[in-house]
Chains A and B, each alone.
Chain A
Amino acid sequence: EAQVTQNPRYLITVTGKKLTVTCSQNMNHEYMSWYRQDPGLGLRQIYYSMNVEVTDKGDVPEGYKVSRKEKRNFPLILESPSPNQTSLYFCASSTRNTIYEQYFGPGTRLTVT
């Protein structure tokens, strides 16, 4: 089954404790991206990647890192999480030629206390 998976689905952590949210897709997609969803703001793009070893900032990259060492994986790293990073996070992927048609993962709900 074609899908985008994220882990963990739910996470409660404390300020400053490094964490990684994993994202994996099994569709051989070149393009992957991360969004965060906040009340009243909709979804906003954090980072995206056009292919392996190619990443770029989205609209709200501060406080986040990403890497793209393999085509299928695009982890989101919070080196020192803060309470303002409490949010619902979505990973998405698509082919390079149909970037406008993105497949979304199930979401990761992160709470930073």
Chain B
Amino acid sequence: AQKVTQAQTEISVVEKEDVTLDCVYETRDTTYYLFWYKQPPSGELVFLIRRNSFDEQNEISGRYSWNFQKSTSSFNFTITASQVVDSAVYFCALSELLMDSSYKLIFGSGTRLLVRP
């Protein structure tokens, strides 16, 4: 069965520290997409990145970077020089292809990141 595991329930760091959020997935699909979303205290979901299963290049966007490794089925997210505004719940998600050719997203349980001043 498709599954996303975010083993870190909660992480607490001091501002300016680097932090990595882990995401491990299981899928039977040959083509799939991986996502990261941020959920700040206000509750909305903020899309951060989508990665196609055929594109294993790492991605950097400002202080954010993502490491996709198909060999270990992982899609980890690193925040460099963390800031208090990074405090949020972060979700990793995986697309699952359904019988009717639609997709759904399988979400991990989330990692709560607390960045202390």
Contact = CB atoms under 8 A, between A and B. Distances in A.
Contacts, number: 49
B108 A99 contact: no
Most B C-beta atoms less than 10 A away, residue of A35, A90, A100? A100
Specify the main secondary structure of chain A where it touches its partner.
strand
Interface string A33-46: 10100001111110
Tell me if B's interface is mostly helix, strand, loop or mixed: strand
B10 to A, nearest CB: 11
Q: How large is the interface on B (under 10, 10 to 19, 20 to 34, 35 or more residues)?
A: 20 to 34
A74 interface: no
A41 B102 contact: no
Contact of B110 (A35, A42, A102): A42
B82 interface: no
B44 A45 contact: no
B104 A104 contact: no
A45 B105 contact: yes
22 contacts: A33-B104, A35-B107, A40-B9, A41-B109, A42-B109, A42-B110, A43-B91, A43-B93, A45-B104, A48-B104, A50-B100, A50-B102, A56-B102, A90-B45, A99-B103, A102-B105, A104-B44, A104-B45, A106-B43, A106-B44, A107-B44, A107-B45
Interface of B: 4, 9, 33, 43-45, 47, 50, 91, 93, 95, 100, 102-105, 107-110
Interface of A: 31, 33, 35, 40-45, 48, 50, 56, 58-59, 88, 90, 99-102, 104, 106-107, 109
